[in-house]
Structure 1
Amino acid sequence: MSVDVILGLQWGDEGKGKIVDSLATNYDFICRFQGGPNAGHTLIFDNKKYVLHTIPSGIFRENIKNIIGAGVVIDPVILGKEIANVEQEGVQVRKQLQISNRAHFILPTHRLLDKASEADKGKAKIGSTLKGIGPTYMDKTGRNGLRYGDLFAPGFREKYTKLKEKHLRLYKMYDEVDFDLKGEEDRWFESLENIKDIPHIDAEYILNRALKDQKDILAEGAQGTMLDIEYGTYPFVTSSNTTTSGVCSGLGIAPSQIKEVIGITKAYCTRVGSGPFPTELFDENGQKLQEIGHEFGATTGRSRRCGWLDLPQLNYSIMINGVTQLVITKLDVLSEFDPFMVGEEYIIDGQKTTDLPYDLEAQDIEVQYRAMEGWNKDITGVKKFEDLPENARNYVELIEEQTGVKASIVSNGPGRDQVIQKEALVES
């Protein structure tokens, strides 16, 4: 019937996996449309923690098809491990998961080039996860890539060897790095045998026919808007379109099919790796946010930089994506802060503005803050919005007022059931 989109409005790690899992039962298909195993979507239920890097976050819900779209890049080693971990929980992954023929493979030599390139940058490194994402997308746009559908066609090994040899020629540009290419290749080909029974499909036809049959689709984004290759904090970005526009190219559906755009924001800000971050805290409040919020990367384990909510940045992301509903996560983390702050505007060259500069790093930005009264109360058990402390409600309502978008969901803890419905959810 329509395509709804869930994506992050900050620098990733907003809690998308949990929200996708929560809403999944409203849909027939959950589809990843971009990114790769640099993503880490965390789900917690039944006292267990699950981190998904490539598999869509609807996989734990029965009778829902999960599709890895053409915009995704796949490392078969990581995907194989993911499949095994999920199957251990009794999920019939090979019945619920499908992969687009057009999705590209990450080769071992993509990871080799990623590691060598990042080491070559020295202090100017961008904070790559070293998963080979960037080099894979470079081959994709350079028309050299190896796709999932190629695995089932003649000449796959020859195509692999040709691309590998190209990579090794490029590698000569760099200093040598520690990388067991033979061992990584052996694991890679072994993993291909493990995943090749996952159905390979022409996802664009499957999804468009499903829409004609009145089926509902949820498109799941990875990373966040500020890591978008076009509109993020370039060059400290990922290599794909993390915004709503990536849904159309990543899944092969028309813009007219998109209905709701559900944007997810934390109640504060975090960022992993290098790059500009206007509201970053370098004091005890930043450390406290990190500790209470357990702010460590699901993919890399790196500690996340923390700061107050940045309204100019949030409004920029809402504008770029056409957000129709907000989800505010980790509101509970602010329960121990009184007061806490919200970034309302920037001062750049002595001028006040709420516009985000195209190059945040090149600007000397002073953030103007508003102080908010805290609530000093544990809210992790609250089930209804009206039962939240007044100051917690005031904060949510301030975000709605300043962005012009209603919050449909407020998350008040990491668990699957720690979700407060504030407004009407997307229609099932």
Structure 2
Amino acid sequence: MLTSIVGINWGDEGKGRMVDLLSSDYDVVCRYQGGNNAGHTVINERGKFILNLLPSGILRENVACVMGPGMVVDIRHLAGEMRRLREAGVKISPENLKISDRAVVTMPYNVAQDCLEEERLADKKFGSTKRGIAPVYADKYLKKAFRIGELKEWDRLKKRVPDIVDWKNLTLQGAYGAEGTSVEEILHYFEQFGLPLSDYITDTGLYLSEAHRQGKKILFEAQLGALRDIDFGIYPYTSSSNTIAAYAPIGAGVPNLKLDRTIGIMKAYSTCVGEGPFTAEYFGEKAHTLREAGGEYGAATGRPRRVGPFDAVASRYGIRMQGADEIALTKLDVLSGFKELEICTAYRLDGKKLTEFPFPDLLDSCEPVFETVQGWNRDISACRKKGDLPKEALAYIARLEEECACKIRYVSVGAERDAFVEM
């Protein structure tokens, strides 16, 4: 069984929470793209964990975790993340964590370049997390990146560093007038944070292929959502990788395998971190009330998330791009204090009603078309069965299901591991 858990919207939908929940039924969990530019928040009996690079399955003792070749890995950040989890009693060893030898290393100069470019753009900035993601993916496709597997070929790696340093300084010093990097700095970075990972580095494609041959169940974990995909998202306000489910086998290192099931994650309302078009966005007091009710602040950056009502237009598109077979709806409990709820059922562009997501360049000219439905005035966080939910909550779920034309199978009513209802 090969299953992918993916975001339907702009990211921050609650994928980590669902991966943690469902990983109990799987043998392997694999992250297949992105870096430490987003966070998956998981709350269980051990406490609250924010995972930026490690797969959310790392919190399950009997699950093996894989960081695939489609990822970009800030090895300094990874060292800190592993240390914090170990301090909390989480077991991490080469037996339960495999890092692809083909994954790319996010370098300190990538982070510096990311920050310099955002500063240069000023009020035209993309809203980068300043974690070096776009520059390192650019280096990858320019064939100027370092790969994790090179850490096990130290003599060859040392010979590559001077040429890369000379090349990168052309940008840092020549284009930005900033301080450059040095061979000594890069080698120290690899020695301090890279070499300790040697025992974790392996051919994850071979590992996953063998796991599949043995009949093991594999869960693929995505970062961000469909609207942040480099090809199908709200370009250029996207991530620099493919966040869609179809990329999961490729980014995991097993393009020979096919997915059996895709679970799309979407919130009961809309949130968006960073810049770019967000048609159904709330402003002022409405935004503040919803943001505070949901605790909507970025897990990786702490930035306040932009918020709005459920956007059925964007969600239909995200479901189609992800090929979702079913949906997990998160944070329904956040809406418990609202007497009325709005749903964005369409956009209006130049006087015409749109029910399909348009070309991203047109989104700034679109206006939301809202439908108002009745809310429920009671706490639902203790609900564990469908029959426990108020009729208004069931009606809201049914309306979203109707708008999105996809079965909602799981409904989250709290952040804790067991706070969900299977429909």
TM-score, length basis structure 1: 0.94
- 2:83 corresponds to which residue? 84
Measure how far apart 1:187 and its partner are: 5.2
Distance 1:348 1:255, change over 3 A: farther
- Cα offset, 1:191, TM superposition: 1.6
1:195 is matched with: 197
RMSD: 1.8
Alignment-mate amino acid for residue 165 of structure 1: D
Distance of aligned partners of 1:82 and 1:395 in 2 relative to their CA distance in 1, 3 Å threshold:
same
Please, which runs of 5 or more residues in structure 2 have no aligned partner? none
After superposition, where does 1:22-37 map in structure 2 within 5 Å?
22-37=21-36
- 8 A contact 1:275–1:361 mirrored in 2: no
* Structure 1 letter corresponding to 2:194: L
Give the superposition deviation at 1:407. Answer: 1.1
Tell me the SS of whatever aligns to 2:224. Answer: coil
- TM-score where L is the length of structure 2: 0.95
Contact residue 112 and residue 179 of structure 1 kept, 8 A: no
Counterpart code for 1:301: G
Corresponding residue for residue 338 of structure 1: 339
The answer as to whether partners of 1:11 and 1:224 remain within 8 angstroms in 2 is yes
Amino acid aligned to 2:78: L
Q: Structure 1: how far apart are the matches of 2:413 and 2:46?
A: 16
Q: Partner residue of 1:425?
A: none
Q: Partner amino acid for 2:198?
A: K
CA contact (8 A) 1:117 1:174 kept: no
Which residue number in structure 1 is paired with residue 63 of structure 2?
Answer: 64
For residues 397-412 of structure 1, what are the structure 2 equivalents within 5 Å? 397-412=398-413
Matched-pair contact (CA < 8 Å) for 2:4–2:220: yes
Q: Counterpart in 2 of 1:381?
A: 382
Q: Which residue in the other structure is 2:367 paired with?
A: 366
Which whole-Å CA distance do the structure 1 matches of 2:178 and 2:348 have between them?
Answer: 43
Identity rate of aligned residues, in percent? 35
Report if aligned partners of 2:249, 2:258 keep a CA contact under 8 Å in 1. Answer: no
| Contact 2:262/2:325, CA 8 A, preserved across alignment | yes
**Correspondence for 1:391:** 392
Instruction: Write the distance in 2 (CA, Å) between the matches of 1:56 and 1:355.
Output: 33
After TM superposition, give the deviation of residue 139 of structure 1 in Å. 1.1
Gaps of 5+ in 1: 423-428
Alpha carbons 2:309, 2:344 under 8 Å: kept: yes
SS in 2 for 1:196: helix
CA displacement, residues 336-356 of structure 1 (integer Å, 9 cap, x when unaligned) = 111110000111111111111
- Deviating runs (4+, > 6 A) in structure 1? 178-185
SS at match of 1:232: coil
Count of residues in Structure 1 that have an aligned counterpart in Structure 2: 420
CA distance in 1, matches of 2:289, 2:179: 36
What do residues 119-159 of structure 1 show as CA deviations (whole Å, max 9, x unaligned)? 11111110111111111111111112111111101321232
Residues 1:355 and 2:356 aligned together: yes
2:176 equivalent to 1:157: no
Distance 2:411 2:251 in 1: 28
- Secondary structure (helix, strand or coil) at the match of 1:155 reads helix
Structure 1 position 252, deviation (Å) = 2.6
Tell me how far 1:101 sits from its aligned partner: 0.7
- CA deviation vs aligned residue, 1:105-128 (integer Å, no higher than 9, x gap): 011111111111111111111011
Secondary structure of the equivalent of 1:93? Answer: coil
Indicate the residue corresponding to 2:305 in structure 1: 304
2:110 aligned partner: 110
Out of 143-152 and 206-215, give the one that drifted further: 206-215
